Amino acid sequence: MRILVTGAAGFVGSNLSKRLLSEGHTVVGVDLMTDYYEVAIKRRNLAGIESPNFEFVEGDLNELDLAELLAGVEIIFHEAGQPGVRKSWGKSFSEYTRQNIEATQRLLEAATVLDTLQRFVYASSSSIYGNAERYPTMESDLPKPVSPYGVTKLAGEHLVGLYASNFGLPTVALRYFTVYGPGQRTDMAFTRFIKAAIHGETIGIFGDGTQIRDFTFIDDVVGANLAVAFGENVPAGSVFNVAGGSNVSVNDVLALLTEIHGAPLNVDYQERVNGDVFRTGGDTTAIHAATGWVAGVPLAEGLRRQYEWGVGVL
């Protein structure tokens, strides 16, 4: 199949592209290569995708000729977007509306005239829930984002649903819960923790470390994307949580990393940041019922694999 992966140079997009290529598909990857984090990392991600069936296009979805980009495409994985809760406040908000809302709308609009399209998969975020009503949180629970980033991801979700109901686009949205693993972005917690541990530096923690997260290993996230893209019982407009089921505190993670590292860590607890929720935890009953997907990598194993990767590259 001919498949488009947006954000193909990113953490999820590059891993997804590799998996698709390994299964014999042709992949067109597109990425704006923004400098939110080191562009060199994105270049390294792309260098790791070695296949004659991979075509890379560098550019902005708001400006590219989408008719040409989408020609013959059967599945779209829309992983691109402006990430990060903390930067989404203030003057940077326009970057989030442009890349998370406007780019999504333009891609959806172009997809409405694509007669080859079989599935449009949108990468959403657990940030849309904010401080949720209950845990584990179900897809039917009321979204209440507490950051501008979460607002834009929820807006993208609403657009995806609108194009399913009004134009019959075969869309599905996946709400990712804290994706981690080898190759994770350098601004994300586990990579920061591991790099600091390896170099004997101080690990900065926003808050007191009691905040709870549902961490999801990268291979499981890729598997969820494939499950919904190729699944036969996934109605258009579906929304699913993609969560690892760990539900542990940041302090628990630090204790586990101390064990893996084999030496004490230097930890500095800092002031909590606006927009960070205290807890996340996703119920994955719906995606399992529709596709059979379940997370398969426990936190201890996944963190160890990320640590071993970090020793070689961080």
Options 96, 122, 129, 149, the catalytic residue: 149
- Rounded distance between C-alpha atoms, residue 104 and residue 97, angstroms: 10
In DSSP notation, 182-208 reads TT--TTSHHHHHHHHHHHTPEEEEESS
- Rounded distance between C-alpha atoms, residue 309 and residue 314, angstroms: 8
Structure tokens given for 298: 């426990």
Burial 24-46 (b: 16+ CB within 10 A, else e): ebbbbbbbbebebbeeebbeebb
Pairing of strands 2-6, 248-249: unpaired
CA atoms within 13 A on the CB side of 304: 8
- Rounded distance between C-alpha atoms, residue 146 and residue 112, angstroms: 32
- Rounded distance between C-alpha atoms, residue 64 and residue 109, angstroms: 13
> For residues 39 and 17, is the Cβ–Cβ distance under 8 A?
no
96 is catalytic: no
Active site residues: 149
